[in-house]
Amino acid sequence: MTSAAVNRPAGGAPAAEALGPASAALRDLPRCAIGVDVGGTGIKGGIVDLEAGDLISKRVRFDTPQPATPEAVRDTVDRVLQKLASHPECPAEEQLAVGVTFPAIVIDNVVLSAANIDPSWIDCDAGQLLSALPGRTACLNDADAAGLAEARYGAGDGKSGTIMMITLGTGVGSALVHDGVLVPNSELGHVELDGVVAETVFSARARERNQQPWDEYGKGLARYLAHLWRIQPVSQFIIGGGISTRADDFLPYVTGLRAEVSVAKFQKNAGIVGAALFAAEQAQAAGLRE
Ligand code: BGC
């Protein structure tokens, strides 16, 4: 991984002073934190080295319980944490930060939407729900976690300005990161293009369902990104989610944009890495306020 003059000191965690005023007080993050990614089919977690932005444990995965009610998901997150606790590098409970992602709007740890999860999550205080589990928990949107990971350690590493990550999977998620600082819950998969909600056309699931050829999909995606650029001009788009493994098939058709278009570096671990970083920073900020 390259070190960056802009938002990363050589070989270290993101430079707090380079991340804008919101993070200016954040230094000396713990070496490790846990990230847990709650998805529609699997709940995945790992211990993340926050300097390298990489997993130092095995990736633990359990099937998402069905129905994925808050209590059932909490119990599965607990199983993930229990499995990781035996790892020699797992931080002690009092120093442990745990980030948990949801495919939903999350404000102050409260889940406020449920496009791709059980509707019983709406208005659930996930922070409260998970408070009995080990560590200090912080919850965030799944695409936001992925965007944070990419901006700090991945395809956006070293880039200043505003980055927009778009995740193309079961749904379409988005993350906006400005100079390393996340602007959460942008939810740009729900923007309309030609009177249709983008997610219903550009998700990996929609492409498969429509058996759309890659060239057509790529050209459509270019129009969608151009539309998003008019709403929020950015200097870089990062394309992630399951479909990014097929970038060679559609990216040649994503042209004519006034921003660089990159493929995500992290594949399935982006959410875990970003969640761990988010939780460590939140714990740090809370510690500074106490
Ligand atoms: C949800 C977003 C989520 C995205 C990707 C969308 O349906 O509204 O919150 O980030 O799917 O999972």
Q: In the chain, what are the domain boundaries?
A: 3-146+269-285, 159-265
144 lines ligand 1 (CB under 6 A): no
167 lines ligand 1 (CB under 6 A): yes
User: What was the pLDDT predicted at 60?
Assistant: 98
Residue 248 burial class via C-beta count within 10 angstroms: exposed 0-12, middle 13-18, buried 19 and up: exposed
User: What was the pLDDT predicted at 29?
Assistant: 85
How far is the centre of ligand 1, averaged over its atoms, from the C-alpha of 199 (Å)? 9
Q: State which fold the 159-265 domain adopts.
A: Nucleotidyltransferase; domain 5 (3.30.420)
How far is the centre of ligand 1, averaged over its atoms, from the C-alpha of 114 (Å)? 8
Q: By three-state DSSP, how is residue 190 classified?
A: helix
CA angle, residues 161, 163, 166, in degrees to nearest 5: 175
> For ligand 1, what atom is nearest to the CA of residue 174?
10
115 lines ligand 1 (CB under 6 A): yes
Which residue has the least CA distance to atom 9 on ligand 1? 104
User: What was the pLDDT predicted at 25?
Assistant: 46
How far is the centre of ligand 1, averaged over its atoms, from the C-alpha of 117 (Å)? 9
Please spell the DSSP secondary structure of 210-241, one letter per residue.
Answer: HT--HHHHHHHHHHHHHHHHHHS--SEEEEES
Return the closest-CA partner of residue 33 out of 15, 62, 13, 11. 13
pLDDT-derived band at 226, boundaries 50, 70, 90: very high
Return the closest-CA partner of residue 141 out of 84, 97, 80, 188. 188
One-letter amino acid identity for 50?
A: L
Q: Are 191 and 231 in contact (CB under 8 A)?
A: yes
pLDDT-derived band at 219, boundaries 50, 70, 90: very high
Q: What is the pLDDT of residues 266-276, one digit of tens each?
A: 988 999 999 99
d(Cα 285, Cα 188) in Å, to the nearest integer? 28
218 lines ligand 1 (CB under 6 A): no
Containing H/E element for 207?
Answer: helix 204-210
Q: What percent of the chain has pLDDT over 90?
A: 85
User: What was the pLDDT predicted at 26?
Assistant: 53
How far is the centre of ligand 1, averaged over its atoms, from the C-alpha of 287 (Å)? 30
> For ligand 1, what atom is nearest to the CA of residue 113?
8
116 lines ligand 1 (CB under 6 A): yes
3-146+269-285 and 159-265 share one CATH topology? yes
> Which of 13-17, 228-232, 265-269 has the least mean pLDDT?
13-17
> For ligand 1, what atom is nearest to the CA of residue 105?
9
| CATH architecture under which domain 3-146+269-285 falls | 2-Layer Sandwich (3.30)
What residues contact 167, with CB distance under 8 A and at least 6 apart?
Answer: 142, 143, 146, 173, 174, 175, 240, 241, 270
37 lines ligand 1 (CB under 6 A): no
Q: Are 135 and 34 in contact (CB under 8 A)?
A: yes
Q: Specify the pTM.
A: 0.91
> Which of 17-26, 30-39, 154-163 has the least mean pLDDT?
17-26
Q: What is the pLDDT of residues 53-101, one digit of tens each?
A: 999 999 999 999 999 999 999 999 999 999 999 999 999 999 999 999 9
199 lines ligand 1 (CB under 6 A): yes
171 lines ligand 1 (CB under 6 A): yes
User: What was the pLDDT predicted at 93?
Assistant: 93
